[in-house]
Amino acid sequence: MSFPLFQRPGTVVFLDDDHDYLEMLGVVLPRQWMVKLFSGPQECINYLQQEPPLWEADAWNLQEMISQWRSGRALIPQILAYWASDTRRYGLTKVCVVDYAMPSMDGLQALGELIDWPGSRILLTGQADEQVAVNAFNRGLIDHFMTKQAPDISRRLMDAVSQLLAAPNAWQSQLWRATLTPEQMAALRVPSVVRDLSDFAARHWVEHVVLGDPFGVLGLSAEGQVSWLQLESTDRLGDLAELARADDVDPSLIAEIRKGKKLIDLELRLALGHGAEPELKPAFALGRNETLIGALFQLDRSYWPPQDASYNAWLARQTKRRIEK
């Protein structure tokens, strides 16, 4: 397990022929989720079958960034342009929850129609169908299952969906891993570091990308604010202090860098082509062994996406939750 290298929000689709159940979900599910509710299998299938070309176009954009980076182009400006250019990425469905027992088509048959759709799948079953779900899970046809009549099913379902929304996509992780060194990847796999970074990301961002050069996390808040969590291993603080010295930073501040009390954003500004004075921010330890430290830098408003391109603005423009026939 490692900290997700690439994360963003996505839509959650529910398919169930029970209108009352769908209406209940529409009320209790978190308002920060984009939710689509379907009572008819074919309508749901048709909706999701339209997504693979959009997933492919998005994948091409991400691959092109890495390709440009290999050619010497900095990644951070590319990511900022990507975030500002197209909010359709938020509409891509990441999780589909399907009821097994439906009159016209059972849930597994419906999921079987989604051959090229890449999202995660949850199957809801009755008590008598639990073995069917176990077999489907063992065959890799679904990512999770639960009995619909189980106590506190709403909370359990929200927990399962939340976990899948937060789970790293294997292909995207492999793509962004190319920017990291083996030592950086090892640091991001330390369980206590994963915990601390995950908590930090949940408090600050809805979308983020981990980069290796410079090493850190570029994050985007729901309101569209961009920030940079600079990461440094403690054995590299001497190198960072030397960069600061070469930039004529005050010697007393250089001493703070060497001690791991502050970090300086020289590499970030170089990636942005920014000529302004560098900033120093207080550093904090990540993980129990304190060999990885971080400092948060807010990017200037000029680097933020347009206000109407933020996740909250996009979500506010979507239609209210209703059951699609």
- pLDDT digit string, tens, across residues 164-218: 999 888 888 899 999 999 999 999 999 999 999 999 999 999 999 999 999 999 9
- Domain final residue, candidates 137, 171, 205: 171
On whether the CB atoms of residues 216 and 230 are closer than 8 A, the answer is yes
CATH number at residue 130: 3.40.50.2300
Q: How far is 311 from 325, CA to CA, in rounded Å?
A: 27
Pair 110, 166 in one domain: yes
Pair 151, 187 in one domain: no
The answer to whether residue 101 is domain-embedded is yes
Pair 134, 203 in one domain: no
* pTM of the complete model: 0.93
DSSP state of 307: G
* Mean pLDDT score, 57-72: 96
Angstrom CA distances, 291 to 152, 190, 212, 288, stand at 41, 11, 17, 8
The answer to whether residue 286 is domain-embedded is yes
Pair 183, 297 in one domain: yes
Pair 238, 126 in one domain: no
Question: Where does the chain have alpha helices with state H?
Answer: 19-28, 41-49, 52-70, 75-85, 107-112, 130-138, 153-166, 170-177, 182-188, 191-204, 237-246, 251-258, 266-272, 311-317
Residue 57 CB contacts under 8 Å (≥ 6 apart), including other chains: none
Structure tokens, 107: 């849930």
Pair 190, 120 in one domain: no
| Domain boundaries, position 16 | 6-51+92-171
More confident residue, 219 or 134: 219
Number of domains in the chain: 2
User: Each residue of 188-206: b (16+ CB within 10 Å) or e?
Assistant: bebeebbebbeebbeebbb
- Domain final residue, candidates 133, 149, 171: 171
- pLDDT digit string, tens, across residues 93-139: 999 999 998 988 999 999 999 988 999 999 998 876 788 888 989 98
The answer to whether residue 275 is domain-embedded is yes
Pair 145, 291 in one domain: no
The answer to whether residue 318 is domain-embedded is no
How many of the other CB atoms lie within 10 Å of CB of 227?
19
Pair 151, 228 in one domain: no
The answer to whether residue 109 is domain-embedded is yes
Pair 100, 204 in one domain: no
The answer to whether residue 322 is domain-embedded is no
- Domain final residue, candidates 152, 171, 190: 171
The answer to whether residue 300 is domain-embedded is yes
Structure tokens, 52: 């693979």
Pair 250, 209 in one domain: yes
Pair 118, 144 in one domain: yes
Pair 14, 148 in one domain: yes
